[in-house]
Structure 1
Amino acid sequence: MTIIRQGSLFDIQELYNLEPTHRFEAIFSAIDIEPIFAVVTKKSRFGRPVELNYAAMIYSLVARLTERITFIKDLVKRLKNDMIFRLDCGFLVSDSVPSEAAYSRMVTIISESSILEEVNNALLQTAISEGFINDDTVAIDATHFEAKDQAPPKEEKPKTEPMKRGRKSKEEREQWLIEQAEREANLPLFEKKIEEQLDVPLEQLRTEVPQNPEWGVKKNSEGKNVFWYGYKAHLAVGTKSQYILQSLFSSGNLNDGKAAIPLLKGIHERVQLENLRYQTMDAGYDFEPIYEQIHRMGQQSVIAYNKRNEPEPEGVDKHFAPTCFREHSYRYDSFDPKYETLKFTRPKECKECPLANEGLCQKIYKVKITTDLRRYTAPARGSKTWKTIFKTRTAVERVNAYLKLYFQLNNVRYRTGKRAKVHFDLVTLVYNASKLAADRINALFSLQVAA
């Protein structure tokens, strides 16, 4: 019997209104902690003590996020003073409560592996197999969150020697070009141009992402620059299911567009949704290599166009649809996936136009999207279908708000980027687990109603 999920019946807010014991049970059951337990379990008779309940410690870190406990010391205090909470986390009455140092050691061990990402990917596969993820559109966006450490003073740039006026000689220019090429070749991957990422394997891309806290800047709603010191969370979210399908943690100064290709490759290689057709993003991702990566995946781009002081194109309107002699826009009709061709039909205004009767205006225009992947998208820019798909991009903004409101994304309490990434990975894992728990409750409720 097919389970029909009714998303409006029960959501994450209602999950958090449950009694803590029931909420913990629902969320814990969605996470397979065995791989994490295998990483953190003591394997030697030397070093830290062995009497700690590591499985319960992992569950307590999850509970810390759901209960919005700010500090590890507050978590330890809660475990000591609240017997029910301690039992909910899986500790036995005879177990000793771990110290702050024990939690710190465990986080350090986890930071040396990618185990949280692997567990999250396994959780997504479970949600797909149970029918809760069946999206045809993914939305990608980034959000910033601050490091709790005091930002270092900005370093003054060293003074450079004044450039010599006048044109360089041929020999000087050739030498300068060689030096520029060598300098660019030696740059870290994420400081190079975005197109350099296209042929780099996914694992290498994720390994080379900068993760130390840095100064970032973004324009607010008033058009003013807002600065912060910390990190960025880059998310790829299913617009219907609202699961985080891929995530990337980076320094705060990384350009949003430079995180898109790792996210796209991660979706293509790790998630593999059969019905996935569209990738939607705002104008900050309007770069040709991103369109190229989406095209290589056999999907379509729905990305807002960023003019960047480009000259006005001739013979087309602002959405790059062809225009007639009187500059009326042709109407988008359909897309032929076999030949990757957009079809436009004659404007309504041309029905009574004498130029059309004289054969001066074409009835139909066809354009291959590969002519310019950035300008010609399927569905065509400005069409109703394009606008409808682009509106679903708000799903990723909603998830960003959930992570900050319910899951303490802003509450990073670690000094190094590697340990801060553990916090980020745990936040995304707990969010997906909460989403899966809510979906399972919905499915059970639907079965009960049907019975």
Structure 2
Amino acid sequence: MSIIRQESLFDIYDLLEMEPTQRYEAIISEIDVDAILYQVNKKSRLGAPVKLNYAAMIISLCVRIIERIPTIKDLIKRLKDDPLFKWNCGFLVSDETPSEAAYSRLITKLSDSNTLELAQETVLFQAIAEGFIIDDTVAIDATHFEARDQAPAKEEKTKTEPKKRGRKSKAEREQWLEEQAKKEASLPLYEKKIEAQLPVPLTELRNEVPQDPKWGIKKNSEGKNVFWYGYKGHLAVGTSSQYILQSLFSSGSLNDGKAAIPLLKGIHERLSLSSLRYQTMDAGYDYDPVYVQVNRMGQQSVIAYNKRNESDPIGFDKHFAPTCFREHSYRYDSFDTKYETLKYTRPCKDCPLATEGLCQKIYKVKITTNLRRYTAPARGSKAWKSIFKRRTAVERVNAYLKEYYQLDNIRYRTGKRAKVHFDIVTLIYNASKLASDRINSMLHQNIAA
């Protein structure tokens, strides 16, 4: 599997090898700690005075991820035993070391607001303004991580009455369809079909995401089912810059395809990236509504096709390119953006059937006739394969988050608090990326000078 690497003089690996004081300063300086502090600080002068240094506590939560300190208990011990570490986290000599209960209250305050998501957007806006995010392709994928607690015992399913055999009458079928429609309408948003997400506003889409730990299932590289109890992190990553452009935290049971539209809408509505042209995903996202959303954004879908027991259409090959009378596939030539039309040319230069009018020279098809089958560039073409290979960027970022940023070290029992851990991890990663890009840019300027 090819891995996309960004050629640079200085990267995240080098940043993580810097001295602690320099590393903390480089990463934390990219985060708007004051905005986070405003959300968790006491708003009224009434009541007992706040003796804790909340700003230093927020920084220490970030440093815990950078230093890979496994638990809050270990963090507190380090603060007590290492005065230099405590000072690097922003605590004063006179400040008391916070207790586990104090950190727990801070996590609760963070979980009740979206301040970490706003801090993430601030980092992204800064990276865009400085020209570090100029991607033309976004890769979307999910990664799983286990919950702290063991899975509860599975409930025994109650036996249902056997279904009546035989064909339903017209009246019975109409009644059954009406009952099914009512049942579908009463379901939570993420238990409905994916097309139900298309008209829903982004804010509602993000607020309705299930976050409690659940059983998840996924096939591994050997084709075997892997089960876990916990959560999923859904990421939309710029394939060249490797910034996390959008992220979503959910229960482990959520289908990957149901997270695509919230991520896509987040990119479209929250980020002004005119350079984007392609959205690439694996076969787990091969659903018609996903293609519709990408098309509404004025971009192209490069998504692996999932046949789902579908038969190959007559007159077309497995990539839906038209075939000639002798069953040779037409060659993809170009895409007309004005008319949204794919152009295919005759497969053979000197076709003996051309003079008899049995071999069409040019074949054109509008992608809007079937957005899932017809993509630009066309499926199976060298251009399509080249763009699809960029999807490995999101896999690399997933590996970064687990290996260096403790994504799979969830220490909280509820999904709401586990999301705080996920948001801090993605925030620290993007801040680290921005810090390394800035240092790299300075090195280039010094060399040029």
> Which TM-score bucket, shorter chain as reference?
over 0.9
Cα-to-partner distance string for 1:238-262 (whole Å, 9 max, x where unaligned): 0000000000000000000000000
Match of 2:365 in 1: 367
Task: Map 1:55-204 to 2 at 5 A.
Answer: 55-204=55-204
Match of 1:440 in 2: 438
Q: C-alpha separation between the residues in 2 aligned to 1:165 and 1:369?
A: 42
1:171, distance to aligned residue in structure 2 (A): 3.0
Q: Please state if 1:254 is matched with 2:241.
A: no
Q: Which amino acid aligns with 2:401?
A: L
Q: C-alpha separation between the residues in 1 aligned to 2:19 and 2:239?
A: 29
Q: C-alpha separation between the residues in 2 aligned to 1:173 and 1:204?
A: 34
1:169, distance to aligned residue in structure 2 (A): 3.2
1:179, distance to aligned residue in structure 2 (A): 1.4
Q: C-alpha separation between the residues in 1 aligned to 2:258 and 2:404?
A: 28
Aligned pair partner of 1:390 in 388, 391, 402: 388
Q: C-alpha separation between the residues in 2 aligned to 1:329 and 1:47?
A: 77
Q: C-alpha separation between the residues in 1 aligned to 2:448 and 2:301?
A: 39
Unaligned runs of at least 5 residues, structure 1: 1-5
The SS at the match of 1:168 is coil
Q: Please state if 1:426 is matched with 2:404.
A: no
Match of 1:323 in 2: 323
Match of 1:3 in 2: none
Q: C-alpha separation between the residues in 2 aligned to 1:353 and 1:447?
A: 57
Q: Which amino acid aligns with 1:186?
A: S
Q: Which amino acid aligns with 2:288?
A: E
The SS at the match of 1:344 is strand
Identity %: 75
Greater CA drift, 244-253 or 353-362 = 353-362
1:48, distance to aligned residue in structure 2 (A): 6.8
The SS at the match of 1:280 is strand
Q: C-alpha separation between the residues in 2 aligned to 1:103 and 1:90?
A: 15
Match of 2:3 in 1: none
**Are the equivalent residues in 1 in contact too, given 2:219–2:225 (CA < 8 A)?**
yes
Match of 1:449 in 2: 447
Q: Which amino acid aligns with 1:237?
A: V
1:177, distance to aligned residue in structure 2 (A): 1.8
Greater CA drift, 313-322 or 156-165 = 156-165
1:126, distance to aligned residue in structure 2 (A): 0.3
Q: C-alpha separation between the residues in 1 aligned to 2:338 and 2:103?
A: 56
Match of 1:294 in 2: 294
1:7, distance to aligned residue in structure 2 (A): 4.1
The SS at the match of 1:355 is coil
Q: C-alpha separation between the residues in 2 aligned to 1:351 and 1:145?
A: 54
| Number of residue pairs the alignment of both structures matches | 444
The SS at the match of 1:311 is coil
**Are the equivalent residues in 2 in contact too, given 1:7–1:439 (CA < 8 A)?**
no
1:61, distance to aligned residue in structure 2 (A): 0.4
**Are the equivalent residues in 1 in contact too, given 2:351–2:359 (CA < 8 A)?**
no
The SS at the match of 1:150 is coil
Cα-to-partner distance string for 1:331-363 (whole Å, 9 max, x where unaligned): 11111100000111111xx23331012222111
1:150, distance to aligned residue in structure 2 (A): 1.3
Q: C-alpha separation between the residues in 2 aligned to 1:197 and 1:41?
A: 36
How does the TM-score come out when normalised to structure 2? 0.97
Cα-to-partner distance string for 1:260-310 (whole Å, 9 max, x where unaligned): 000000000011211100000001100000000000000000000111110
Match of 1:352 in 2: 350
Match of 2:206 in 1: 206
Cα-to-partner distance string for 1:82-137 (whole Å, 9 max, x where unaligned): 11111111111111111111110000001001110011011100000011000000
1:78, distance to aligned residue in structure 2 (A): 0.5
Q: C-alpha separation between the residues in 1 aligned to 2:229 and 2:47?
A: 36
Q: C-alpha separation between the residues in 2 aligned to 1:85 and 1:48?
A: 29
Structure 1 outlier segments of 4+, above 6 Å = none
Match of 2:413 in 1: 415
Q: C-alpha separation between the residues in 1 aligned to 2:43 and 2:77?
A: 28
Q: C-alpha separation between the residues in 1 aligned to 2:183 and 2:236?
A: 33
The SS at the match of 1:357 is coil
The SS at the match of 2:353 is helix
Q: C-alpha separation between the residues in 2 aligned to 1:395 and 1:346?
A: 35
Q: C-alpha separation between the residues in 2 aligned to 1:23 and 1:36?
A: 21
1:49, distance to aligned residue in structure 2 (A): 5.3
**Are the equivalent residues in 1 in contact too, given 2:332–2:381 (CA < 8 A)?**
yes
Task: Map 1:232-251 to 2 at 5 A.
Answer: 232-251=232-251
Q: C-alpha separation between the residues in 1 aligned to 2:350 and 2:342?
A: 25
Q: Which amino acid aligns with 2:316?
A: V
**Are the equivalent residues in 2 in contact too, given 1:53–1:95 (CA < 8 A)?**
yes
